[in-house]
Structure 1
């Protein structure tokens, strides 16, 4: 049985635009409009899921998906850093930021480490691999990074070297525990048939 998982990153929000750790802010007007214009551009899916964040749920809705929020697909819990920018943290806690970026097991913010995120997403992927058909999920960029690291068998230090733009689909397909990855298909306006 071939498993298919498509992960879609959320549209732009104020936090994403400001390079601020997610603090529950909604999509901005541009992000919502872009997601609405891409509605209908995704393939049919047997399961539609979303990270429980506001921007992922709003993106799924704007894309016309009736997605169920799944805790296992939550973004990285950055603890007390929530709502702050990396620039602010670099000025206030340079040692903690350096440790966090260098060591996947570090969690100086009191939240979840990159290592734990990769493990959590890896478990979810193993479960998704046992389901027939296609799973489509709108997830935070760090969930896409964690899934990519896992399926490629890359070291967790590679997590920070993967860029995930807004409204991009990353596809995983495979069987017998071996995955293939198709990176970075930008979502655009759905093609409408004439008439």
Structure 2
């Protein structure tokens, strides 16, 4: 087993690594050969290598989002500002509890990942990656009114996402992995 990501968690058992150690690393016997299980594992690895299917759906709402912002009242973000181009976007995140930090992240569009070197703000307690870390982000429409924004630093173990549901000027947001929900207004 090889891990290339770091975890911000102090208790590794939260993500199950203690169970991996107990089950596999302390065994004095080798596992019995199981061709069916080996084939199933090979198929699963192949699916991981291909990655999740991306949506190329576009929405008329894109024109309304260009150079616009969504302001949130009761959420960990105070605002998200969009700059959209044909095949990529830049998202500007304003953090509620750290108003002096504005994160500008190049983002792929229509399901394509955009990889960039991201200069993390100094003293950002929310992010533990090194300065000039790699960052991957993409946006894709799940339907004409639902926009999914996904991002992850490859050095971290966790993927983050925001699902935005547009209903007129109101926007409903749900984040993952935390499950926070909030309402925002398109400005």
TM-score of the superposition, structure 1-length normalised? 0.24
| Higher-RCO chain (CA-CA 8 Å, sequence separation at least 6) | 1
* Larger Rg belongs to: 2
- Of Structure 1 and Structure 2, which has the larger fraction of its residues in strand? 2
TM-score of the superposition, structure 2-length normalised? 0.24
- Of Structure 1 and Structure 2, which has the larger fraction of its residues in helix? 1
